[in-house]
Each structure stands twice: as C-alpha cells, then as structure tokens.
C-alpha cells in the first residue's frame, strides 16, 4: 500500500508505523507545510481480527499478524527459548496486544529524570498522556477527553469481576477506581484501548487513519528498511526494499526511527551505528562506535498460576453457537463478549510494605489464554479455569540484542536475561504466595477449586524457583535498547537525538531507560506525542502536582 504517488524527498521520514510511529505521522503531518513519509515493514491492519478486541487471542499465534521472534537459550531459565511475538502491520504491537491501558506509578517517570533525562519526570509527561486520551472519565487532573486514543473500562459482564473486587478488603488491599489516578495500588477494573463502537483503538486506528487523507503524508507498507543513509555524520535518508526493488528516499529535515525495542537498534546496527566489535564481526563498516545500541534490554518477567474454577467461566462464551451470535452482535452493535478482552481485574501490589512503588501486577483471567472455540460432539470444552499472570514490574536484570546477519529480515539475536538477579526470584515468589492467599479468601475463595498449575505442593523457595525457571516468560513489554540518558552507554539524549549523528532521532519504547511498572503501550504513545513536539521545537508546560 502506497497512499500517494512516488517521490524521493520528504521533510521527515519515519521508520516504523507502531505505537509511536503512527503518532508521529499524525502530529508532524498536521502542518501542511511538512511532507512526511511513513515506512512500515508489515502490511495493513484491516483484518476483522485486528478490529475485534477478543481477536488478539488468535493473532498472537498466527504469523500472518506477527513477527514471530524468539530469544536465544535463556541462561537463567533452563536454556529455554522464549517466544516474542511483535506486531506485523500498521499499528505495530498496538494492533495485536491485550489493549490494557496503564501508565505506571509517577515514580517510574521521576526515576527517568533522576537518571539525567531532563524533561521526562511524571509532571513533564502527564500533559502528553492527557493529550493522547479520549478517556471515558472525561477531562480531569489525570486524564484527557479530546485526544485521538479511546480509553474505556473493560466490559466485565462475563468476567466474574465483582467477586474478585469484593475480596480486596478481606485480603487487606485497596480498591482503586483509577489505577492511573490518586490510588495507583490495589484492585482495579482495567482500562482498555477500545472505542465506543467496540473496536480496538490501536495507534493506527486512533492516529493514522484520519491523517492518511492528508496530501502531505505518504504511507508505504511492506517496506523493509535496509539502512539509514549517512553523509558526513548526518542522516540524510533511508534505503528500503519494496516488491523486490531497492529504493532510496531522502529527508530534508530528519530521519525518525520508531521501529520498536528490537528493530530500532537493529536498523542502527545495519547502518554502522552500534558496538564496533559487533559490526566488524559481520563486515559492516563502522560509522559510529555507540556501545549502548542493543544493550539495556528490560522486560517484565511473567509466570502463570492456574486454579480450577467451581463456577462456569468465560469459556462458555466460546461455545460455537454463542460465539457466532457474539460476533454478529459485535459487528452490528459493538457490544458483547467479543467486544472486550478478558481481564477480570488489574491488580498492582507491594509485596513488601516498605516499597515506594508496587512491584507485582496480577492479570486475572477467568479463562485460559489458549482456550478455543468448542461445541459438543465437535471439540471438547476446556475446563473452567482461573488463570493469573504474575508480572514483576521493576526488574533489575538487563538483556541485550544484536544482529544475526546483515539481512534485515533475519530476526535479531535476543537474550532477555531475565532472572539474572536472584532477588527477582524472591519478588515473584512473594507474588505467587500473595496470589494464592487472595484466591482462597472471600467471594473469590468460594469459586476457586484446587490449584492446577504449579500445584499446592510446589511451595518451598527451591520448588517455586524451579517452577519459575521451567515456565516463566515475558509480557511483551521490551524497552531500553536505545536508552535515553546522558552517560556513555546512552544512545539518545533527552531530546531523543542519536548521540554523534545529526538529523536522526529514535522515538519509541526503546528509549525508555527503565521499564515502567505497567503495560507499555500507553507510555510508547506518550513518547510519540512528546517526541513529535521535540522534533517541532516545542513542549507542553509540566503539570502542577
């Protein structure tokens, strides 16, 4: 798909139409004087499964929709390779994710400022979160009401929500009406990026579709970037391959990388910008020795605990006849079981009272993530299950990625390196034990049967650690591989300019110096909003707190 007639020179070239790239394309092309080219290696996003919120369960397993990366054998997970699906279409991973909207604790962003990222404290970034939002709560101190991105509450009709929420007080935890507001710890009804018509609000649907009508914005899909064109220490354009043809396009002003935590550093290294030894290993001429490229990879570790449910769960909505009716209702009215995702509650907790920020997130699902359509005499129904993901919010382990070859289509070599710090095992153990306690209390306890996985007998520190090593994965929230900062290991400065190269910025989740304690899509969109202003030489005033 090329939305405009071909030309070779633009003011701005954006590489990657993901969470941040679509924001950039919208904001930069809003001025009709700016000509903008947006390049995307994947395809379009018009498939019904993309628009249907429950479709994410199918897309995460289908190579039509994802770049199906996997890690190298993980040194602290028994040498297992971890699957890493990334979005393969307009909207990037915002088109395949679970749509949970969550920013994290204000201290997550204040930490960035303490690390030298001036202009990135919570007070600095809050106006950009608000500008992006059309939040169901309306305009307020923490939320916006007129932005492109629809944020709505999860429709909990079929999700056994209230028994879990009513258990919070019994378990000694707060209930938060807004986990991104004043009470940012406790049990909450999740917010999701789903619009009023019951359609997924990816960054493409929220930001790009309206902008694609503009004559000064060109969008090219299935365009695989080969390298950044450099001249005398300046980025002057991009070389990409489309339909087997190698093309070069040039930027009058800037080249903006928004290809995500794995592909932005990959493109830098393919262009000769990165750790010199790694580049020489593959015969890539070194344009700039920048050791931090591909380093500082941070991810949220995740492990699941499953319980038998003593009551019917969401799997009943997957019975074929009901599913067909739900799809029809979704198409016509944007309502019903397929118009939402499957979190009963979004719970963030401190597992030690002295902690300043929550360290564990519990994603509580009244169905197993691998559940499928079923019908008597056709396919057996999966058991009634409560499946809970325990996610560590502030990991200290750092991984890395590098090139496997000079072929841009060959997945990079990714080592997540999660659980390299023994304290991370201790944090997740505490999370598992607190989860077990919660699910045996109050109304939730009355619905919860035996523990299926790992099983109640797996309780000692040693047994839980072995369970984690054998089963842990990640939440698909990679950040940090083009880290923002002021030290020698940083890749971009607080203006998101690549150190040592003029006319080149990275604007996506890869610039986060640490991972926020939340699903990262909201923060990536905020980075796109703030990054666009930095490119245009302006900034919103910090919020008063």
Give the residue numbers marked as catalytic.
477
Q: Which residues does 280 contact at the CB level (< 8 Å), separation at least 6?
A: 286
d(CA 446, CA 156) in angstroms, rounded, equals 19
Instruction: Measure the CA–CA gap between 175 and 391, rounded to whole angstroms.
Output: 19
d(CA 476, CA 483): 18
* Distance (Å, whole) CA 404 – CA 452: 39
Q: Which of 40, 499, 470 is nearest to 241 (CA)?
A: 40
Peptide bond into 226 cis (omega under 30): no
By C-alpha distance, which of 8, 100, 51, 15 is closest to 482?
Answer: 15
DSSP string, 446-497: HHEEEEEES-TT--SHHHHHHHHHHH-EE-S--B-TT-BSSSTT-SB-TT-B
Give the CA count within 13 Å in the CB-facing half-sphere of 281.
10
What does residue 377 show for φ and ψ, rounded to 5 degrees? 70, 0
Asked if 317 contacts 407 with a C-beta cutoff of 8 angstroms, the reply is: no
What is the rounded distance in angstroms from the CA atom of residue 389 to the CA atom of residue 210? Answer: 36
Of residues 507, 460, 432, the one with CA closest to residue 120: 507
* β-bridge mates for residue 174, sequence order: none
Residues 293, 299: Cα–Cα separation, whole Å:
16
CB 494 within 8 A of CB 483: no
SS3 call for 223: coil
| Secondary structure class of 277 (helix, strand, coil) | helix
Burial of 181 from C-beta contacts in 10 A (0-12 / 13-18 / 19+): middle
Q: Specify the DSSP element, H or E, that contains 245.
A: strand 245-257
Length of the chain: 545
The C-alpha atoms of residue 216 and residue 439 are separated, in whole angstroms, by 55
Q: How many CB atoms neighbour CB 489 within 10 A?
A: 13
Structure tokens at 402: 């590098």
Letter string b/e over residues 308-330, b meaning 16 or more CB atoms within 10 A of that residue's CB? ebeeebbbebbbeebbeebbebb
The three-point CA angle 345-349-310 to 5° equals: 40
How far is the C-alpha of 300 from the C-alpha of 108, rounded, in Å?
14
Closest CA to 539 of 4, 27, 3: 27
């Amino acid at each position: 798909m090329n939305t405009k007639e071909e030309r070779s020179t633009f003011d701005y070239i954006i590489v990657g139409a993901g969470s941040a790239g679509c924001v950039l394309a919208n904001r930069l092309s809003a001025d009709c004087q700016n000509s903008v080219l947006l390049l995307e290696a994947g395809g379009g996003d018009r498939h019904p499964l993309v628009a249907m919120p429950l479709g994410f369960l199918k897309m995460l397993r289908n190579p039509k929709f994802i770049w199906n990366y996997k890690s190298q054998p993980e040194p602290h997970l028994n040498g297992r390779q971890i699957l890493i699906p990334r979005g393969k279409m307009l909207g990037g991973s915002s088109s395949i994710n679970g749509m949970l909207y969550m920013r994290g604790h204000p201290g997550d962003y204040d930490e960035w400022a303490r690390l030298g990222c001036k202009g990135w404290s919570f007070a600095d970034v809050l106006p950009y979160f608000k500008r992006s939002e059309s939040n169901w709560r309306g305009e307020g101190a923490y939320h916006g009401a007129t932005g492109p991105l629809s944020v709505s509450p999860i429709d909990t009709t079929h999700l056994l929500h209230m028994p879990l929420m009513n258990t919070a007080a019994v378990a000694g935890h707060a209930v938060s009406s807004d986990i991104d507001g004043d009470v940012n710890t406790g049990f909450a009804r999740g917010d999701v990026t789903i619009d009023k018509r019951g359609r997924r609000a990816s960054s493409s649907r929220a930001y790009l579709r309206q902008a694609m009508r503009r004559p000064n914005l060109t969008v090219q899909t299935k365009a695989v970037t080969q390298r950044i064109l450099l001249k005398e220490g300046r980025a002057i354009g991009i070389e990409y391959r489309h339909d087997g043809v190698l093309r070069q396009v040039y930027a009058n002003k800037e080249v903006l990388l928004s290809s995500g935590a794995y592909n932005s550093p990959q493109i830098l290294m393919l262009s000769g910008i990165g750790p010199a030894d790694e580049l020489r290993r593959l015969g890539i001429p070194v344009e700039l020795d920048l050791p931090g490229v591909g380093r500082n990879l941070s991810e949220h570790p995740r492990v699941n605990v499953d319980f038998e449910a003593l009551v019917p769960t969401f799997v009943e909505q997957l019975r074929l006849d009901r599913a067909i009716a739900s799809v029809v209702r979704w198409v016509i009215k944007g309502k019903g079981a397929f118009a939402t995702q499957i979190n009963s509650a979004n719970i963030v907790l401190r597992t030690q009272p002295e902690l300043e920020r929550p360290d564990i997130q519990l994603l509580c699902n009244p169905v197993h993530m691998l559940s499928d359509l079923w019908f008597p005499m056709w396919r057996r129904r999966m058991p009634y299950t409560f499946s809970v993901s325990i996610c560590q919010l502030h990991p200290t382990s750092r991984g890395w990625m590098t090139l496997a070859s000079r072929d841009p289509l060959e997945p990079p070599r990714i080592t997540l390196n999660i659980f390299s710090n023994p304290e991370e095992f201790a944090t997740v153990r505490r999370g598992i034990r607190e989860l077990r306690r919660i699910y045996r209390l109050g109304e939730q306890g009355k619905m919860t049967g035996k523990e299926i996985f790992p099983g109640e007998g797996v309780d000692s520190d040693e047994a839980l650690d072995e369970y984690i090593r054998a089963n842990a994965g990640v939440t698909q929230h990679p950040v940090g591989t083009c880290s923002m900062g002021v030290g020698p290991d940083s890749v971009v400065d607080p203006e998101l300019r690549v150190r040592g190269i003029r006319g080149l910025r990275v604007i996506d989740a890869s610039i986060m110096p640490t991972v926020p304690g939340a699903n990262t899509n909201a923060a990536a969109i905020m980075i796109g909003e703030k990054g666009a202003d930095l490119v245009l030489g302006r900034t919103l005033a910090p919020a008063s707190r």
